[in-house]
Amino acid sequence: MKSPTELSEAFRSQGRKLTPQRQAIFDALDGNPSHPSAESVYDMVRVHMPSISLRTVYQTLNDLTEMGEISQVDLGLGSARFDPNNEPHHHLVCSGCATVFDVAVEVDSPLPDLEVPAGLGDGFVVDSTDIIFRGMCARCAAGQQPTDLGPVP
């Protein structure tokens, strides 16, 4: 993901209004690997900017998605999550604590021999693949209480 300064410049270059609220949202996303929901971004930003509205957070995240700066992903956790990692990757989702981890993908081979079965996708052109591995992280599998996992999903 681009830095908050780069996102500000991208907003301006597209004629979008740059506000202190949007800048605070950019700051909340910066270096945040948690795949936050709009609600968790709202909770982070509201600590420093109590007057921000959830609508502003949603609109800004949708604008960033439309601009291609982040992706909206449905990881089956109840609400959409926003992913600032635009590199090809898959996800690990812990069914215990709902932590999401990125799984790097080699560009040349996302998964060996992964194809649409013959006859099911006649004429279908695949342009991306989203794979979600579900299970339990090491802490949850060991029965430990998660600590400092970042923002609550």
83: left (phi over 0), alpha (psi -120 to 50) or beta: beta
Q: Are 36 and 84 in contact (CB under 8 A)?
A: no
pTM: 0.79
Using CA atoms, how far apart are residues 10 and 5, in angstroms rounded to an integer? 9
With a cut of 90, say whether residue 115 has pLDDT above it: no
What are the beta bridge partners of residue 47? none
Give tens-digit pLDDT for 122-145.
777 777 778 889 999 998 998 876
Using CA atoms, how far apart are residues 144 and 2, in angstroms rounded to an integer? 35
Using CA atoms, how far apart are residues 7 and 28, in angstroms rounded to an integer? 12
Taken in order of first residue, the domains within the chain and their CATH numbers are 4-73 (1.10.10.10), 87-141 (3.30.1490)
Give tens-digit pLDDT for 1-31.
789 999 999 999 999 999 999 999 999 999 8
